[in-house]
Structure 1
Amino acid sequence: MNPLLDQLQPYPFEKLRMLFSDVTPNAAYKPISLGIGEPKHPTPAFIKQALADNLDGLASYPSTAGSEALRKAIAGWLERRYSLPALDATTQILPVSGSREALFALAQTVVDPSDRSALVMCPNPFYQIYEGAAYLSGAQPYFVNSDPDRNFAPDYGSVPEDVWARVKLLYLCSPGNPTGAVLTLDDWKELFALSDRYGFVIAADECYSEIYFKPEAPLGSLEAAYRLGRHDFPRLITFSSLSKRSNVPGMRSGFVAGDAAVLKKFLLYRTYHGAAMSPSVQSASIAAWSDETHVAENRAKYITKFQQVTPVLQEVLDVALPDAGFYLWAKVDKYTTLSDVDFAKRLYAEYNVTVLPGSYLARDAHGTNPGQQRIRMALVAEVTECLEAAQRIVRFVRGLKN
């Protein structure tokens, strides 16, 4: 067996399952889960129809590079969304079977397995795929803690030069999971300068980009690069997905875009990896990327939800409206000394509400775990259910105070 597999930690939801294994939740309440970031809004009918209308595609082997029509649809969306000039749909865009598998696979392309000193840099807290990708590429993860005083941006200025010299790949998530923070143009300028100096590839995970609460849409990595004069996107690969944007997580449809030289090698890897997208899913994806009406309607649901739920939770938790995304990243120590793990366990037992302990989404690094005393709440259900969960959390915390 591959010994690198032994370095993988249980996924956060497996830890949560083990935490709850000896708990019988209060049967007086119906279960409400804010634990898993799985979109719950209905899939738009026109996307389902596009899939159903193209089932003949199941009779054909898919191309790893995807159809020209899909690549052009993605290019058109990128150009409209980020005010970019025409992208080369052949060399700068590659459809993938969801951003998750591509985020993992990129490390296998970028990291030299013979380099035993290689590092893969990750934000902390983070999406656990980044860590697993690092280990299975033969590298080690290096965590940079998010700083609440910097809108949860990782403090890259704290990283020693000898560490930067070993970094081959840097993962980041903007809007962030779990913090919801969006990188600024100055943040990107700093990262691009570091990439130029040390030669590492940047993997920009942007799967939450279309759920936001301000009038202006979040800045994207390709957009930032172009505005800073980096028109060929050197050493930059952006990842996006239809899962959250269009409520189709089961379709497993996304794309990567950016540096043509990196994508050429990535396509070679994926040709052997075998994760090509079904022609039927490609047809439905073209329909989804070509329409913005359903995206605006979906975003409006989240805006309503967050505007109603956040003030309720602010009565007992240290929590604020994020820049974007569908998570609330709340501190639980406003009125209680419970740890984030104990908070989640007792809330589940007493009120049948599931939240994810923040420490499950982070690692001990540089003397601290930045997820401690925090919980992540995914507001993915309809507004009435999320409000009911918030009201239960308020009653739970107030009970702890008495």
Structure 2
Amino acid sequence: MFPERFSNLPAYAFPRLRALLDHHKPRLEAGSDVVHMTIGEPKHPFPDWVAGIIAENVAGFNSYPANDGTPELQGAIADWLGRRFGAVIDPATQVMALNGTREGLYNAAMALCPETKNGAQPIVLTPNPFYQVYMIAAISVNAEPHFVNATAASGHLPDFTALPEDVLKRTSIAYMCSPANPQGAVAPEAFWRDLIALGERYDFQIFADECYSEIYRDAPPVGALRVAQDMGADPERVLVFHSLSKRSNMPGLRSGFVAGGPDSIKRIKQLRAYSGAPLPLPLQKVAERAWADETHVDENRALYQEKYRIADEVFANVQGYQAPEAGFFLWLPVENGEEAALKLWKETGVRVLPGEYLSKDTDQGNPGKEYIRVAMVAPKDEMQRGLIKIRDCLFA
């Protein structure tokens, strides 16, 4: 009666966390509150002009919104890709607005993954740890998800070039997140060149999840689409996914986009005409303004850069601490992620996520089992208090 392909899925990360923690009462200091450091939900202020734009365009709620994004929004996105990355994009044929990037990361596989690859079941490559939608997208299109461990030894980046030829010949899609969630590692241009060359050789597409690209410590991360264009790769080889959730502190806006080759975008648009949930017109106007404005992005980045400095100070003497290059997570090494998360909750009231909830067991082990993920999204003082509690509880 029900599909077997979803029958063995583990519980999603946050229900698993609640099952681990919630039947224990934390021991809180007098006057101290629970510190939530699990979900990557930005808490910095969003731009103050958002409410005004919604009010000015409120009549748009009375109309069905443009499914692919208004021409003005598509143009603002294409302009931003050009300014930020140097990528050349036709807004009418190479951009589609999304109701958040998760929708796009899933539906792109639905629209583009073939039923077979070289006469066999297709493979979808995903870094491990990974954003869970990558795995579900693969399963949904009857592909085999293949997990490529990203460990400290590999710079917390997956080495796709080390995969055996029989895997690469069946590969249809490779998901890659840079900056990486959860490790904060940034793929350099050489990494993208190697992966794109591999895609060209074995004829698979690369889905570049770049939603953390505007939150970084020093140098801005390179964009996969620009690298592909510089290489003269097949225009359909790379699709990039971006969001306003992290860049602009608007996770509730549910606004992002996918950009890539015109044939790929045409197919995604066609599927979305049947199955998508377009962004309401007033919110598309907010997104149009957000992609055109960098002032609020610079201010937001400065707040995270201060948080990086605080984390570096708190964990300066902790063996194995690795400062993130980008994003807003710490990936802290522990003996056992579940045990550490439970101990931390019971003794301090700080909630963090066990790393194994974001990764899968492979022949090379589970790369998340000996880590916890710590989200640095709370206000600075609260975040610092939480980091100190983590250090004193787990690393003293």
What residue is the counterpart of 2:363 in the other structure?
Answer: 366
- CA drift at 1:52: 2.4
* Aligned mates of 1:398, 1:141 — CA distance in 2: 35
Deviation of 1:394 (Å): 2.1
Q: CA deviation at 1:229?
A: 3.0
Secondary structure (helix, strand or coil) at the match of 1:233 reads coil
Equivalent of residue 54 in structure 2, options 47, 51, 60: 51
Unaligned ranges ≥5, structure 2: none
- What is the RMSD computed on CA atoms of the aligned residues? 1.5
Please say if residues 180 and 323 of structure 1, whose CA atoms lie closer than 8 Å, have aligned partners that are also in contact.
yes
1:290 to 273, 292, 301: 292
> Offset at 1:113?
4.0
Aligned-pair distance for 1:398?
A: 5.1
Deviates more, 1:7-16 or 1:299-308: 7-16
- For residues 46-104 of structure 1, give each alpha carbon's deviation from its aligned partner in whole angstroms, at most 9, with x where no partner exists: 1232122211111111121111000001011111101234x210111111101011101
In the aligned structure 2, how far is the partner of 1:324 from the partner of 1:62? 34
User: In 1, are the aligned partners of 2:172 and 2:205 still within 8 Å (CA)?
Assistant: yes
Residue matched to 1:17: 18
> Using the alignment, how far apart are the partners of 1:264 and 1:304 within structure 2?
42
**2:7 is the counterpart of 1:3:** no
Say whether 1:159 aligns with 2:163: yes
Q: How many residues align?
A: 391
Q: Tell me the SS of whatever aligns to 2:38.
A: coil
Percent of pairs with identical residues: 41
- Alignment match, 2:374: 377
Judge conservation of contact 2:161–2:198 (CA < 8 Å) in 1: no
- The Cα offsets for residues 272-299 of structure 1, whole Å up to 9 and x where unpaired, read as 1132111111001011111000000000
Quote the offset at 1:7 in angstroms: 3.6
Output the amino acid matched with 1:383.
Answer: K
| Counterpart position of 2:281 | 279
Amino acid at match of 1:394: R
Residue of structure 2 in register with 1:187 after alignment: 191
1:189 Cα offset (Å): 1.3
**Residue in structure 2 matched with residue 239 of structure 1 by the alignment:** 241
Correspondence for 1:210: 214
Q: Check whether the contact 2:225–2:260 (CA below 8 A) recurs between aligned residues.
A: yes
Aligned residues of 1:7 and 1:135 also touching (Cα < 8 A): no
Aligned counterparts of 2:318 and 2:350: Cα–Cα separation in 1: 16
Partner residue of 1:133?
137
Hey, what's the Cα distance between the residues in 1 that align with 2:151 and 2:340? 23
TM-score by length of structure 2 reads 0.95
- SS of the residue aligned with 1:91? helix
Paired position in structure 1 for 2:322: 320
- The change in CA–CA distance for 1:398 and 1:292 in structure 2 (over 3 A counts) is closer
- Contact 2:115–2:121 (Cα < 8 Å) also in 1: no
Which residue is 1:395 aligned to? 392
Distance (Å, rounded) in 2 between the aligned partners of 1:250 and 1:379: 18
The aligned amino acid for 2:151 is: D
Q: Which moved more, 1:107-116 or 1:138-147?
A: 107-116
Q: Which of 227, 230, 251 is the equivalent residue of 1:227?
A: 230
Secondary structure, aligned partner of 1:90: helix
- Counterpart CA distance in 1 for 2:395 and 2:308 is 22
Please list, as runs of the form range in 1=range in 2, the aligned pairs for 1:292-307 lying within 5 A after superposition: 292-307=294-309
Q: Give the distance between the partners of 1:317 and 1:136, measured in 2 at CA.
A: 41
Q: Which amino acid aligns with 2:184?
A: G
The question of whether the paired residues in 1 share the 8 Å contact of 2:161 and 2:194 is answered with: no
CA distance in 1, matches of 2:293, 2:333: 37
Matched AA of 1:20: L
* AA aligned opposite 2:382: E
Q: Is the 8 A contact 1:120 1:141 kept in 2?
A: yes
Provide closer, same or farther for how the CA distance between residues 93 and 107 of structure 1 changes in structure 2, counting only shifts above 3 A.
same
1:249 corresponds, among 237, 251, 262, to 251
TM-score under structure 1 length normalisation:
0.94
Could you say what secondary structure the match of 2:215 adopts? Answer: coil
Q: Does 1:117 align with 2:125?
A: no
Match of 2:178 in 1: 174
Q: Distance in 1 between matches of 2:11 and 2:291?
A: 34
Deviation above 6 Å: which 4+ runs of structure 1? none
In structure 1, distance between residues paired with 2:363 and 2:4: 26
Counterpart residue number, 1:60: 63
Q: 1:363 corresponds to which letter in structure 2?
A: K
Q: What amino acid maps onto 2:6 in structure 1?
A: L
CA deviation profile, 1:171-190 (whole Å, cap 9, x unmatched): 01000001111111111111
Letter in 1 for 2:222: L
Aligned to 2:91: 89
Which moves more between the two structures, 49-58 or 124-133?
Answer: 49-58
Cα distance in 2 for residues equivalent to 1:348 and 1:120 = 36
Runs of 5+ unmatched residues, structure 1: 333-337
Query: For the residues of structure 1 that align with 2:300 and 2:341, how far apart are their CA atoms?
Result: 29
Instruction: Please state how far the C-alpha of 1:160 moved relative to its aligned partner.
Output: 0.8
The residue type paired with residue 166 of structure 2 is: D
Letter in structure 2 aligned against 1:25: P
Paired position in structure 1 for 2:39: 36
